[in-house]
């Protein structure tokens, strides 16, 4: 088993290495890959120093699986070239997610749709992943009609530049314009913009939640509307979700379904001050769910609060779980 990690020196790439080590992913050859400026630098994996190699050298090595965390443009250019030599690409960017010829996979929900013919597999957006992991077991039981979601998204979702901006501002410095990941300060602030605005007034991040949810859940009838907000948090993303169902529900049953759902950790005891927070999600692979309560203003409607580490389950861990599924089911 030859495994390549493309974008290995980036924020998500570093977490991919951590999760691969923690989960003891089976491989005989490890191939770290990054942009030309990083070629020749060293990365440490399982206690061994490896030199970073170029895209061309990685393709020549014909890896069995390549986990991409290098941005959409890079993926559009290079993922097909890896696929041409027989590599299965699991891509963390948005490049292939809504392409009808490529699967968009959250293993707890739709890994069963994968076949040996899938050579480029899309990893969903981080905020979408945590929401659908929590909602899929309820959709099976009650049939979701509509989702209203407001996100509180960690600056780590923007990358190292955003983290550095936050750290400078926290220390009292005013970053230079070229050091700013956002148009405004992020320390002690909330910015109601994640990604760029589209013609319909929504951001790309908000529309990812709308479109990806339907594709992953395999149900185009689900109505979704979203507001995505960037907050000065390092630990992970949070979401306030209001979900309306076709059928009524018993709240105790909903709690049990969530407690039994793969990948979900139920933390829902407000009287004991137990509810999910990004501080608790940081460094963990579960999707945390709590603050479950009926919406008394609408029929068959539930309010819930969801948190998860956006760099782990929202990116690295989900991609590695896809790779594990491929290996375990002899699809590679």
- Indicate which residues carry an active-site annotation: 126, 237
Q: Which of 111, 90, 97 is nearest to 5 (CA)?
A: 90
The CA angle 19-24-28, to the nearest 5 degrees, is: 115
User: What is d(CA 261, CA 270) in angstroms, rounded to the nearest whole number?
Assistant: 21
Which residues have C-beta within 8 Å of that of residue 118, sequence separation ≥ 6?
88, 102, 103, 331
Decide if 86 contacts 66 (C-beta within 8 A).
no
User: What is d(CA 227, CA 151) in angstroms, rounded to the nearest whole number?
Assistant: 6
The end-to-end CA distance of the chain, in Å, is 9
User: What is d(CA 80, CA 76) in angstroms, rounded to the nearest whole number?
Assistant: 7
């Amino acid at each position: 088993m030859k495994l390549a990690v493309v974008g290995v020196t980036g924020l998500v790439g570093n977490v991919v290495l951590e999760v691969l080590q923690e989960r003891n992913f089976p491989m005989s050859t490890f191939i770290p890959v990054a942009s030309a400026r990083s070629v020749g630098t060293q990365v440490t994996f399982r206690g061994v120093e490896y030199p970073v190699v170029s895209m061309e050298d990685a393709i020549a090595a014909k890896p069995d699986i390549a986990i991409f965390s290098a941005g959409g443009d890079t993926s559009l250019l290079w993922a097909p070239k890896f696929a041409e030599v027989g590599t299965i690409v699991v891509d963390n960017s948005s490049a292939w997610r809504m392409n009808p010829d490529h699967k968009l996979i959250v293993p707890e929900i739709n890994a069963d749709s994968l076949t040996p013919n899938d050579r480029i597999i899309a990893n969903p957006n981080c905020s979408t992943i945590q929401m659908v992991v929590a909602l899929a077991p309820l959709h099976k039981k009650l049939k979701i009609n509509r989702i209203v979601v407001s996100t509180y998204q960690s600056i780590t979702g923007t990358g190292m530049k955003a983290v550095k901006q936050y750290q400078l501002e926290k220390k009292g410095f005013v970053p230079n314009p070229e050091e700013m990941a956002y148009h405004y300060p992020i320390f002690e602030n909330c910015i109601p913009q994640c990604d760029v605005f589209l013609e319909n007034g929504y951001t790309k991040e908000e529309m990812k939640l709308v479109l990806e949810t339907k594709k992953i859940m395999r149900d185009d009838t689900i109505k979704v509307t979203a507001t995505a907000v960037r907050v000065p948090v390092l630990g992970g993303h949070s979401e306030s979700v209001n979900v309306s169902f076709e059928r009524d529900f018993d709240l105790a049953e909903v709690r049990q379904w969530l407690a039994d759902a793969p990948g979900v950790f139920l933390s829902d005891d407000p009287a004991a001050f137990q509810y999910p927070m990004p501080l608790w999600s940081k460094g963990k692979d579960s999707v945390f769910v709590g603050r479950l309560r009926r919406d008394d203003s609408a029929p068959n409607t539930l309010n819930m609060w969801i948190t998860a580490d956006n760099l782990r389950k929202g990116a690295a861990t989900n991609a590695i779980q896809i790779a594990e599924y491929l290996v375990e089911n002899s699809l590679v």
